[in-house]
Structure 1
Amino acid sequence: MSSTRESFLLPDIMHFLPFKGSINPHYERAAKASSAWVNSYSFVPEHKRVFFQQGGSELLCAYTHPYAGYEELRTIMDLINLLFAMDEISDDQNGKVAYKTGRILLNTLRDPDSSDGSALVQMTKGFRERLLRFNRPACYQQLIKHTEDYVNAVVLEAELRERKEVLDPDAYIVLRRENSAVRCCFALFGIILGAELPAEILEHPTMMRLHLAAVDMTSLSNDLYSYNREQAMGHAGSNFLTVLMKSKHCDLQTSADHLGAHFKQLMDDFQVDKTRLPSWGPQTDAVVTRFVVAMEIWVVGNCEWSFETPRYFGAQREQVKRTRDVELYPQRHEHDG
C-alpha cells in the first residue's frame, strides 16, 4: 500500500520577473523594534503566536522596501504586522465577528477617541500616531479608503468560508485585490518615497492598470506559495488555485500552470503599460517612475521573501525553491515550519 502523498510543481514565476530585488540595510534594527512592539500586545490567539512570530512579516517589508529609510521602514513594518495580525485573527472568525474586528481597526484609524480600549485598538492607535508624524494627508486618506475596502473584503471572505462557497475567477480576483491588503501597503508609497502624487495621476487609466497588475501579481504569487498551508488548515476556498480547479474542472497541477501563465501575461502587460504612461512634466514624471519602480520591487520582493520565511514551506523552503516540487501537508494539520 503506497504512502506517497500528493504533490505539485510550482510554475517558475520568478523566471518571468525582469528585475531583481534586494534587502533593506535597516532590516535588523527596524525588525527588532517592530517585533517588540507587536509582541507587547496579546490579541493573537496563543495557538497561533509561535507561527505568527515565525511568519517573517518584518522580512517581507525589508524585501519589498529595500530603498526605505529607517523610520519609513519601521512604519511599514508596523502596518504589515497589524494587517498580518488582523488576517490571522479573522481566519478563524465568521462574517459577523470578522466585521466587528474589522470595524474596530478601521474606526480607530479614523478616530482614535472612538476606541474601546482593546489590545487591537491600542495597537492601531500606536500605528496611527507613527503614521501621522510624516504629515502626508493624501497617503493617509488613501490608506483609510483601502483599509475600508480591505475590511469589507475580509468580511466577505469569512462569509464565503462559512457557506463553503468558491467564487468564479473574475469575482475572486476583484475580492483578492482587496483582502490581500496589498493596496493598503501601496498607499504608503508617498510616505516611503518622500513624495506624493495627486489623485488625477494615481487614477489615470494607465497608472491604474500598472497598480492593479502589480497587486494581482503579488496576490497570485501569494496564493501559489500559500496554497499548501491553506489546504492543510482547511482554508483553501479563498485561493486562486481552488477557484481554477472548480471553474475549469481541472486538477491542482493544471490550475498551478494556469496561474503561472496568467502571472506571465500580467507581467508582460505591465512592461507594455510602462511605455504608455503620459508625461506630466520632468519633475512629476520622475516621481511617477519611482512609484512604478516601487510596484515592481513589491512583486519581486514578495516572491523572494516567500522562500526566505518558513511561513509557507517550512524547513523545506530551500529544496522547494530549487526543485519547485511541493508535497502537500496532511489535511487539517496546521504546519508551523
Structure 2
Amino acid sequence: MSLITPTATYTAITHSDSESAGFILPDLFSDCHYPLRMNPHCHHVSRASEEWFFTEGHIVEPEITKFMGLRAGDLISGCYPDADAFHLRVCMDFLNWALKLDDDLLVVPDINVVWGIRECCMSAFRDPINTQTENVYGKMCKSFFTCFRETGGPRCTERFIRTMDLFFVAAAQEVDDRIKGRVFNLEYYISLRRDISGCKPFFAFIEYTAQIDLPDEVMLHPVIAAMEEATNDYVSWSNDILSYNVEQSCHSTHNLVAVLMCEQRMDLQDAVDYACQLCKGTIQRFEDNRAILPSWGEEVDKQVAIYVQGMQDWMTSSLHWHFTSTRYLGKDGPTVKQSRIIELLPKMPL
C-alpha cells in the first residue's frame, strides 16, 4: 500500500551539520507566556499508571529506570489540570502507551509492522469489550479505552478513534521515510507532522476529562480548526527544536529543524532560529482566532471556553515538560533552561 500522495515531494538529505558543535536555544518561554497549572492528583495517579504500564507493557530494568526519568505524569497533569483522578488516570495510561509506541516505532523494520499494530489497536478502540488480542499494544488499548468509554461522549469518542487512525497512517509513512532515508519538503512535512504528533487524539481528552461532548458544528468550525492547528503546530515544532539533538544523533530526518536545513540550505543555528519564529507565529494565530470566536449560545460557549483553555494548557505544559523530563535533554534540562546552550551528541553508527 502506497502512502505517498501525488502532491508529496522529497528532497534528498545532502546537508551536513558535522561542523556544528551545538546551538543556542531561542527563548521559547517569552512567547508561550501562559501560566502552568498542575493537577493536584498528579503524584498518586502517576504512580498507579506507572505500575499498570510496567505490568501490562512487560517493562523491566533498565527500561523502568529510564521511563521514570520521563516524568510523563507531569506532562499530563499540566495538560489536564482540572481533571478528577479517574479521568486523569485514563489520560496517563494513554500517554504511557503512546510513549512506548513512539519509541518502538523507531526500530520497526518495515511498515507492515505498523499496519499490524494499527489493526489490533483500532479494533480495540472500536470494540474494547469484545476485542481479543495477545498483542501488547492492543491489550493496553483495550484496558485504558474500556475506561474511556465508560464516560466519554459519543462525538468525543468518535473524534479520538478517527484521529488515532490518522496517527497510524502517518506513523507508517514516517517509518517508510526513515528506512528509505527520505525527508519531505517543508509544506508536506508540516502536513504529516500534524497527524504524527499525537495532539489530535489528545485534544479529544480535553472533552473527555471535562465531561463535555461538543457538537460537530462547533468542532468543524474554521476558527476552532485554526486554533487546533495552531496548538498542534506549536507543540510539534517546539518539540522538534528541543528533540533535534537526540534525533540527529540517531539520523532521524522527521524534524522541522532537519527539514529547514535541507530544503532551505540553512545552517543549524539559522534553522533553529527560524523554527522558533514559526513557533511564535503559532501563538499569534491562536490568539488571533481566540479573538474572533463565534457564539453558539451560553451553554455551548462555556464548553468551548473549556476546550480553548485545554489547548492553551497543552502548549504550556508541553514546553515546561521538556526541561523536567530526561526524554530529550537527559539530566541537563534545568541547566539548558538557564544557559540555553545545547551541545550536539555524537551520531550513532549506522
TM-score band by shorter chain is over 0.9
Partner of 2:140: 123
2:293 is matched with 277
Q: Distance in 1 between matches of 2:88 and 2:190?
A: 29
Counterpart residue identity of residue 218, structure 1: V
Aligned AA (1:202): M
The separation in 2 between residues aligned to 1:215 and 1:26, in whole angstroms, is: 26
Q: Using the TM superposition, give the Cα deviation of residue 85 of structure 1 relative to its aligned residue in structure 2, in angstroms.
A: 1.5
CA distance in 2, matches of 1:278, 1:298: 22
Q: Which residue of 1 aligns with 2:177?
A: 160
State the SS of the aligned residue for 1:68: coil
Offset of residue 18 of structure 1: 3.5
Paired residue type of 1:6? A
1:216 maps onto 2:216 in alignment: no
Note the residue ranges of structure 1 that are not aligned, 5 or more in a row: none
Residues 326, 333 of structure 2: 8 Å contact kept: yes
Structure 2 equivalent of residue 96 of structure 1: 112
What is the number of residues matched between the two proteins?
A: 329
How big is each residue's C-alpha offset from its partner over 1:260-312, in whole Å with a ceiling of 9 and x where there is no partner? 11111111121111111111112211111111111011001100011111111
Question: Which one-letter code corresponds to 2:32 in the other structure?
Answer: L
Give 2:264's match in structure 1, choosing from 248, 252, 256: 248
The 8 Å contact of residues 35 and 316 in structure 2, kept in 1 or not, is answered as: yes
SS of 1:256's equivalent?
helix
| Percentage of matched positions with identical amino acids | 27
Q: Which moved more, 1:172-181 or 1:107-116?
A: 107-116
1:279 aligned counterpart, secondary structure? coil
* Residues 152 and 211, structure 2, Cα contact 8 Å, conserved in 1: no
Are 1:326 and 2:342 matched, yes or no?
Answer: yes
In structure 2, C-alpha distance between the alignment counterparts of 1:180 and 1:55, rounded to whole Å: 17
Match of 1:29 in 2: 44
- Answering whether residue 154 of structure 2 is matched by residue 137 of structure 1, we say yes
Partners of 1:200 and 1:68 lie apart in 2 by 25
8 Å CA contact 1:44–1:89 kept in 2: the answer is no
Q: CA deviation at 1:114?
A: 3.9
Distance 1:230 1:143 in 2: 28
Q: 1:148 aligns with which of 143, 155, 165?
A: 165
Within 5 A, what are the aligned runs for 1:1-337? 6-42=21-57, 50-93=65-108, 94-112=110-128, 113-235=130-252, 237-332=253-348
TM-score, normalization: structure 2? Answer: 0.90
For residues 92-146 of structure 1, the C-alpha deviation after alignment (integer angstroms, 9 at most, x for no partner) is 1122212212222222211333433222222111111111111411111111000
